[in-house]
Amino acid sequence: MMGIVLDSVTKKVVAETHLNNISLELEIGTTTVVLGHTLAGKTTLLRLMAGLDRPTSGRILVNGRDVTGMSVRKRSVSMVYQQFVNYPSLTVYKNIASSLKMSGMSKIEIDRKVRETAAMLHIEDLLDRFPAELSGGQQQRTAIARSLAKDADLLLLDEPLVNLDYKLREELQVELQDIFKKREAIVVYTTTEPAEALMLGGNIVVIDEGRVLQTGSTPEVYHNPATLKVAQLFSDPPINYLNGAVRGDAVRLEQDIEFPLDGHLKSVPAGSYIFGIRPNHFFLSRVSDKDAELRVKVELAEINGSETFIHVSHGDSRLVVQEDGVNPLRIGQEITIYVNPACFFVYDTAGALFASPFNKGSDRRPAWPA
Amino acid sequence: MACIELNEIAHAYVRNPAGESDYAIKRIHNVWDDGGAYALLGPSGCGKTTLLNIISGLVTPSRGRVLYDGRDVTAMPPEKRNIAQVFQFPVLYDTMTVFDNLAFPLRNRGIEKNEVIKRVHEVAEILDLTPFLKKKAAGLAADAKQKISLGRGLVRSDVAAILFDEPLTVIDPHLKWHLRRKLKEIHEQLKLTLIYVTHDQMEALTFAEKVVVMYEGEIVQIGTPQDLVENPEHTFVGYFIGSPGMNLLSCTLNGNVAHIDGARILLDQKTTELGGKARGKLELGIRPKYLELSSEPGKNGVPADIKAVEDLGSYKIVTLTLAGKTLQAKLPEGKPVPGGTAWLVFPPQWIRLFADGRLVK
């Protein structure tokens, strides 16, 4: 296979396991997002792929060749770090060109490549400036340009936009996605943010505490999170849970909610389950006649100008409702919220996905009527 | 707690400012009400941190006065202003326990022992830190550490205001929800004057009663989150608030029709009247979430070509071209997207006009 293969890779530092038995295959020409919390092992994973660190056990193959332990200098890799790294004494032009010096390119070719890459990142007017004369966003664009200018087989980006302005981040996400698509490289991009992962698309590797929890196409994993933990990591606002049980042909949630087994829930046998529901699937008013009702107490309403995030409690459960529009609600107020049972993810008590409202495969239309 | 007045403030970092471009703060003249929750929102380099530092006393402005409850504090250093600050990275003593960290500002001021114990326990209770009081700060997670920084501000009963400089930037998304919620609850309970600097619109809009939007050293709008979404005073606010930002299309007016090159958009009576009075370069603005997409021409549909559809989980972003211009529509999850050509409807009540970048009103 043309690409990078991690074969049962483990990384330990003293007694601590940073990565635990990771096996992955990433093909050339694809973008892979690595999603996980801070300290989940994302940076360690990139450093192993780059050859900056050596795995404690396991093998790493690039285009079929074993490169485990081979120095980063002998590999075709470029990496962008979370903190902008530029040469302070070099201009933007020379910073970008620095990655090409070893390539044996002619001066004219280097010049063309530097200008082309700078234009791609909209810093072509800043080529004569020094890093200290740039804003944070411009500095990070320079660092990204330096990595992109070099046609490395492996392009690794470690939360590259986290220190940038929100709006700039949004724009760069769109641009980078286009740049990645045009490249014949293996692109690996780490993030803590579900929205960023969805924006970049491609494939995803969800990791937590040094283990891979799920891999697949990014939207596919979003719509079918295999475990409760993946659903948690891949929902912002966080996904809601309710404890429930299936008896006969009905579901009973918490103590007081009951609805018939229908649609994707039909095949769920009797037993105890955890029902997951994303905040945008709760509503403040009835949408369909199948909706189940929950009486809840308002704990807080956060209004962002066009949507309201209502934090509510139901017994011991705390839930978030994401509702369109501005809905000022009083703290302590008792309200009814509505949910269509067709939107529930069903997890078994061990946290494994039992039934999803989304069909598997390329057709990801939800099972509920749009 | 205090009401903070900024009187004709301007600031330049250079010694002899020549022109307007030398000023990091051009002119700011406004009052921050006692007990208000404010967010100071803008892109990097807009002057928001400079303004925060002028309020706290870390920076003395080149021009103008800062008043706390009518008292001139312009020349007063931060430690005399009774200001508490929470920074991007938690500031605390790693080797001390959570209790000692919280007690530090009080002991420093020679507060009596029983009072210290009482205040620390009260604040720990509010911030859910009670179980950690005997633990060393070093071992705690990032969000707990940030709560301690906040607690060190809250523990003093004499604080005039609490200033936050991007306090959630280094916090993971799932913990941001928890901390934002905590901040809201604290404001509801204690009614403190809170000023929160951020470039993240989601944080600003959910946190604040009033959002102060800054751009190139000036305040371009002060409004409720709803104002900023529905009636941006400036095209910059339209662009900066919302993801994606407001669609802005150059147009000409002919009676109740806005012409965007070949496309005709119908206006309601109110907008038509406003448009009649407008002078300068005109733009029509509409937020992506208000655009309606249909596979049928319908009554007022204008044809547009769909260029890209991005599935972002709880919604989709559709990029279209209309008369050669690019615009974006935001559709809720589950809503079908027509293929190829779509008919776009601009609901008249959500159309805004801008003349030379300013909202026509």
DSSP string, A235-292: -SSPPEEEEEEEETTEEEETTTEEEE--GGGTT--SEEEEEEE-GGGEESS--STT-E
Residue B288 shares a structural domain with residue B327: yes
Helices (H), A69-106: 92-98
Beta strand A186-191 with A31-35 is: parallel
Answer yes or no: is pLDDT of A361 > 90: no
Prediction pTM value: 0.89
Q: Which of residues 179-198 of B touch A (CB under 8 A)?
A: 180-181, 184-185, 188
Cα–chain center distance at B305: 34
Which pLDDT does position A68 carry in this prediction? 92
Write out pLDDT tens, residues A167-200.
888 888 988 998 899 889 999 999 999 999 999 9
Amino acid letter, residue B63: R
Contact state of B225 with A304 under an 8 Å Cβ cutoff: yes
Q: Which domain holds residue B270?
A: 243-359
Based on the number of CB atoms within 10 Å of its own CB, is B280 exposed (0-12), middle (13-18) or buried (19 or more)? exposed
Instruction: Give the nearest chain A residue to B180 (CA atoms).
Output: A302
Cα–chain center distance at A107: 39
Average pLDDT, chain A: 91
Question: Do A359 and A288 form a contact (C-beta atoms < 8 A)?
Answer: no
In CATH, A240-355 is 2.40.50.140: yes
Write out pLDDT tens, residues B217-266.
999 999 999 999 999 999 999 999 998 999 999 999 999 999 999 899 99
Q: Which of residues 57-116 of B touch A (CB under 8 A)?
A: none
CATH, residue B325: 2.40.50.140
Instruction: Give the nearest chain B residue to A327 (CA atoms).
Output: B226
**Residue to test with chain B: of A31, A299, A302, most B Cβ within 10 A:** A302
Which pLDDT does position A360 carry in this prediction? 63
Answer yes or no: is pLDDT of A120 > 90: no
Contact state of B201 with A166 under an 8 Å Cβ cutoff: yes
Residue B204 shares a structural domain with residue B276: no
Domains in chain B, number = 2
Beta strand B194-198 with B37-41 is: parallel
Q: Which segments of chain B have a pLDDT < 70?
A: 1
How many whole angstroms separate alpha carbon B196 and alpha carbon B86?
A: 9
More confident residue, A322 or A359: A322
Which pLDDT does position A365 carry in this prediction? 53
Residue B31 shares a structural domain with residue B159: yes
If you count DSSP H runs as helices and E runs as strands, how many of each does chain A have, helices first?
8, 21
The residue ranges of every structural domain in chain A are: 3-226, 240-355
Which range, A254-263, A349-358, B16-25, has the best average confidence (pLDDT)? Answer: A349-358
Answer yes or no: is pLDDT of A364 > 70: no
Q: Which architecture does CATH list for A3-226?
A: 3-Layer(aba) Sandwich (3.40)
Residue B222 shares a structural domain with residue B286: no
Residue B139 shares a structural domain with residue B254: no
Neighbours of B138 (CB within 10 A): 11
Contact state of A38 with B172 under an 8 Å Cβ cutoff: yes
Answer yes or no: is pLDDT of A363 > 80: no
Answer yes or no: is pLDDT of A368 > 60: no
Span of A104-108, A133-137, B286-290 with lowest mean pLDDT: A133-137
Residue B230 shares a structural domain with residue B319: no
CATH, residue B34: 3.40.50.300
Contact state of B44 with A311 under an 8 Å Cβ cutoff: no
Residue B211 shares a structural domain with residue B354: no
Q: Which of B195, B214, B234 is the last residue of a domain?
A: B234
Residue B257 shares a structural domain with residue B348: yes
Which pLDDT does position B1 carry in this prediction? 63
Span of A113-127, A313-327, B79-93, B246-260 with lowest mean pLDDT: B79-93
Positive or negative torsion for Cα B69, B58, B89, A167: positive
Contact state of A195 with B287 under an 8 Å Cβ cutoff: no
CA distances from A203 to A24, A26, A60, B301 (A): 12, 9, 20, 37
Which pLDDT does position B68 carry in this prediction? 94
Answer yes or no: is pLDDT of A369 > 80: no
Helix, coil or strand: residue A94 = helix
Residue B204 shares a structural domain with residue B269: no
Residue B94 shares a structural domain with residue B32: yes
Nearest to B215 by CA among B44, B6, B361: B44
Residue B248 shares a structural domain with residue B340: yes
